[in-house]
C-alpha cells in the first residue's frame, strides 16, 4: 500500500511541476509585445479597426500591440501565417467574414487553413452593407426596384469580385426576389465598381456603407436598402431589406479576434474580457462609427465559433448556387 501511495504522490508531484510553468505564464501574461496579424493592406477596413483598438488594448493589457499587415490571396496569406504561429498568446488574428466564412467555399481544396485552426475570442465590429443604384434607375423602395428588375430581365449588377461578400449579398437577394440579373465583377476593390454605378454603366450593387455614404448624401447614388438587422443610425431613413420583406438578406463585413488553435484558455478568457470592456466604451464606439463600422461582440468564444460556422454554411450555400470563384 505504501509503495502504491508513494507512486501516486510522486505522479501527482510530477504533474504539478509540469503544470507550474504553464500556470506561471498565465499569471504573468502578457510579458512581451503582442502581434496582431491583419490579413489586408494598410488603409483598409480591417486595418482601420485594428489601429482604433490597438492603443486601448495596450492600456488594458499593459503591453505593446503590434499591427502586422500581411495582405494577399483574399486574406489567406495572413490567415495561414497566424494559424502557424506559436499558440502562446502572443500572435492574434483579426479575421473577417471573407477569410473565416467565405474563402473556404470559393477556394475549395486549396484552402489550407480555416476557422477550425483557430481559437475564437469575440466579434469586434460589423461594417454593414447597402444596396445602392444609379439615380436614373426607376423606383425608390425595395418593392419598386424589384418590380423594375422583373420588367428588365438580365439587369446587370456590379461587385468587387466573383467571391466577394457584396456579390453574394446580391445573389442572395436575387434568389429571394426571383430576379434574373447578370453579375459584372470588378477588380481593385469596391472603388471601380462604385464609379461605374455612379456613371450609369451598371445600375446597382451592394457596397459597404462607408464607401457609399458621401455619394448617397450628395445624391449621386440612390439608397435602396441596408443589409443590416436594424436601421443604421448614420442612415436612419433607409429601410432594411428584412423589414422590406427579405429577412434572409442580412449581411455585413464582420470582424473577429482569433488566436492559433491550442492557445491557453486563460489567455482566451483574458482577451475576451478585455475586448468586451474596450468595445463598451463610448469613445471607442464613436471612433469606429466615424469609419462606418459598429461594435459587435460575442457573449462567449463558443458563441463566436457557432456564429462563424453558421455564416460559413450560409454564404457557402450562396457561393455554390452562384458558382462564385476566387478572383
Q: Where are the domains of the chain?
A: 33-126+254-321, 128-226
- The whole-number pLDDT of residue 22 equals 42
For range 251-277, the mean pLDDT: 97
**Per-residue pLDDT band at 213 (split at 50, 70, 90):** confident
- Cβ–Cβ under 8 Å, residues 37 and 83: no
pLDDT at 316 over 50: yes
Task: Return the minimum-mean-pLDDT range out of 145-154, 187-196, 308-317.
Answer: 187-196
- The whole-number pLDDT of residue 26 equals 56
For range 245-249, the mean pLDDT: 95
For range 267-282, the mean pLDDT: 98
Domain at 33-126+254-321, CATH homologous superfamily: Bordetella uptake gene, domain 1 (3.40.190.150)
- The whole-number pLDDT of residue 6 equals 52
pLDDT at 14 over 70: no
**Over the stretch 94-135, which tens digit does the pLDDT of each residue have?**
999 999 999 999 998 889 999 999 999 999 999 889 999 999
- The whole-number pLDDT of residue 9 equals 47
- The whole-number pLDDT of residue 25 equals 53
Q: Tell me what percent of the residues of the chain surpass a pLDDT of 90.
A: 78
For range 257-269, the mean pLDDT: 97
For range 78-91, the mean pLDDT: 98
Q: Tell me what percent of the residues of the chain surpass a pLDDT of 70.
A: 92
Task: Specify the CATH number for 128-226; select among 3.20.20.150, 3.40.1280.10, 3.40.50.720, 3.40.190.10.
Answer: 3.40.190.10
- The whole-number pLDDT of residue 28 equals 86
Q: Which pTM value belongs to this model?
A: 0.85
**Over the stretch 31-71, which tens digit does the pLDDT of each residue have?**
999 999 999 999 888 999 999 999 999 999 999 999 999 99
- Say whether 128-226 and 33-126+254-321 share the same fold: yes
- Cβ–Cβ under 8 Å, residues 232 and 284: no
In angstroms, the Cα distances linking 82 to 35, 38, 52, 111, 114 are 10, 9, 20, 14, 11
> Taking all residues of the chain, what is their mean pLDDT, rounded to a whole number?
91
pLDDT at 281 over 60: yes
**Over the stretch 135-172, which tens digit does the pLDDT of each residue have?**
999 999 999 999 999 999 999 999 999 999 999 999 99
pLDDT at 291 over 90: no
- The whole-number pLDDT of residue 290 equals 85
- The whole-number pLDDT of residue 143 equals 97
Greatest Cα pair distance, the chain, in angstroms, is: 91
Amino acid at each position: 500500500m505504501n509503495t502504491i501511495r508513494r507512486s501516486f504522490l510522486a505522479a501527482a508531484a510530477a504533474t504539478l511541476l509540469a503544470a507550474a510553468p504553464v500556470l506561471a505564464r498565465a499569471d504573468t501574461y502578457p510579458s512581451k509585445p503582442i502581434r496582431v496579424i491583419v490579413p489586408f493592406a494598410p488603409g483598409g477596413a480591417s486595418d482601420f479597426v485594428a489601429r482604433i483598438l490597438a492603443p486601448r488594448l495596450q492600456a488594458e493589457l499593459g503591453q505593446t500591440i503590434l499591427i502586422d499587415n500581411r495582405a494577399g490571396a483574399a486574406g489567406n496569406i495572413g490567415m495561414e501565417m497566424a494559424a502557424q504561429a506559436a499558440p502562446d498568446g502572443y500572435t492574434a488574428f483579426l479575421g473577417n467574414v471573407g477569410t473565416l466564412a467565405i474563402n473556404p467555399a470559393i477556394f475549395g481544396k486549396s484552402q489550407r487553413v480555416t476557422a477550425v485552426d483557430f481559437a475564437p475570442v469575440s466579434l469586434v465590429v460589423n461594417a454593414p452593407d447597402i444596396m445602392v443604384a444609379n439615380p436614373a434607375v426607376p423606383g425608390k423602395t425595395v418593392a419598386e426596384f424589384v418590380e423594375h428588375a422583373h420588367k428588365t430581365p438580365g439587369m446587370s449588377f456590379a461587385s468587387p469580385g466573383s467571391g466577394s461578400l457584396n456579390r453574394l449579398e446580391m445573389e442572395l437577394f436575387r434568389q429571394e426576389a426571383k430576379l434574373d440579373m447578370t453579375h459584372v465583377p470588378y477588380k481593385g476593390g469596391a472603388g471601380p465598381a462604385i464609379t461605374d454605378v455612379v456613371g450609369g454603366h451598371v445600375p446597382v450593387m451592394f457596397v459597404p456603407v462607408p464607401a457609399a455614404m458621401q455619394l448617397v448624401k450628395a445624391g449621386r447614388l440612390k439608397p435602396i436598402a441596408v443589409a443590416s438587422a436594424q436601421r443604421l443610425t448614420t442612415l436612419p431613413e433607409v429601410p432594411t431589406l428584412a423589414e422590406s420583406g427579405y429577412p434572409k438578406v442580412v449581411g455585413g463585413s464582420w470582424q473577429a479576434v482569433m488566436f492559433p488553435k491550442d492557445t491557453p484558455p486563460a489567455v482566451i478568457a483574458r482577451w475576451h474580457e478585455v475586448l468586451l470592456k474596450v468595445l463598451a466604451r463610448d469613445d471607442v464606439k464613436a471612433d469606429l462609427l466615424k469609419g462606418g463600422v459598429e461594435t459587435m461582440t460575442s457573449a462567449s468564444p463558443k458563441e463566436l465559433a457557432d456564429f462563424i460556422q453558421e455564416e460559413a454554411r450560409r454564404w457557402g450555400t450562396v457561393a455554390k448556387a452562384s458558382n462564385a470563384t476566387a478572383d
